[in-house]
Amino acid sequence: MKEFFAEYFVYWLIFILFMLGPYGIIFKKNLVKKLMAMNIMQVAVILFFLALGQKAGGTIPINVPGLVGAVNYINPLPHALMLTAIVVSLATLGVSLSLLLLIQKHYGVLEEDELLRRMNQ
């Protein structure tokens, strides 16, 4: 049981977070909620990479005097990659929020069914 929590539990949590994304995008009717679901999905992928870089007993990857060998440090590469991914998700969020502003300004609504009705008028 302890091993399960230590080794796999985090991946199950990430899996649930990841699947919240498609669920929200498909089933929620409000565009802002859809956007939140999309962002949760991106965060889940970021967490997945960070969990890969982690290891028990490792310290932050800054050279500590007297501590030699890769065993003593966690893997810094996933963190570096995810900094880029965070910037990407920020940019995506910015673009989609400005799109939502435009939609709200023109159609006056962010609920999907009402929006579709007004679009087809």
Partner 1 sequence: MKEQLPALIIVVPLLTALLCPLVARFSTKLLRGLGIAAVLLSFLSAVGALGHALTEGPWHYYFGNWLPPWGIEYVIDPLSGVMAVLISFLSLAVLFYAGSFGREEGRLKKGIFYTLYLLLTSGLLGMVVTGDVFNLYVFLEISSLSAYALIAAGGDKATVSTFRYVLVGTVGASFYLLGVGYLYALTGSLNMADLAVRLQPLLDSRAVLVAMVFILVGMGIKMALFPLHGWLPDAYTYAPPAVIPFIAGAMTKVMVYVLFRYFFFVFGIMNGFVPIVLEVLGWLAALGIILGSVMAIAQSDFRRMLAYSSVAQVGYIALGLSLGNFFGFIGGVLHIINHALMKSCLFLVAGGVKWKTGEYLIEKYAELGNRMPLTMGAFLVGALSMVGIPPTAGFFSKWYLILGALEKDLWLYVVVIVLSSLLNAIYFFRVIENAYLKKAPVAGKEIRGEKKKAELPIPMLVPLVVLGVSILLVGILNEPLISNILQYAFPGGGL
Minimum Å gap between C-beta 65 and partner 1 is 25
Out of 6, 64, 86, 99, point to the residue binding partner 1 (CB under 8 A): 99
Q: What are phi and psi of 73, to 5 degrees?
A: -120, 150
Q: Read off the DSSP letter of residue 56.
A: T
10, 17, 20, 103: which one binds partner 1 (CB under 8 A): 103
Distances (CA, A) of 76 to 54, 60, 63, 93, 120: 9, 8, 12, 26, 51
Site membership for partner 1, residue 35 (CB under 8 A): yes
Of 17, 61, 79, 92, the one binding partner 1 (CB under 8 A) is 92
Long-range contacts of 106-114 (CB under 8 A, 24+ apart): 110/30, 110/31, 110/32, 111/29, 111/30, 111/31, 112/29, 112/30, 112/31, 113/29
Instruction: Give least dist CB 77 to partner 1, A.
Output: 8
Q: Which residues lie near partner 1 (CB under 8 A)?
A: 18, 21-22, 25, 31, 34-35, 38, 41-42, 44-45, 48-49, 52, 78, 81, 84-85, 88, 91-92, 95-96, 99-100, 102-103, 106-107, 115, 119
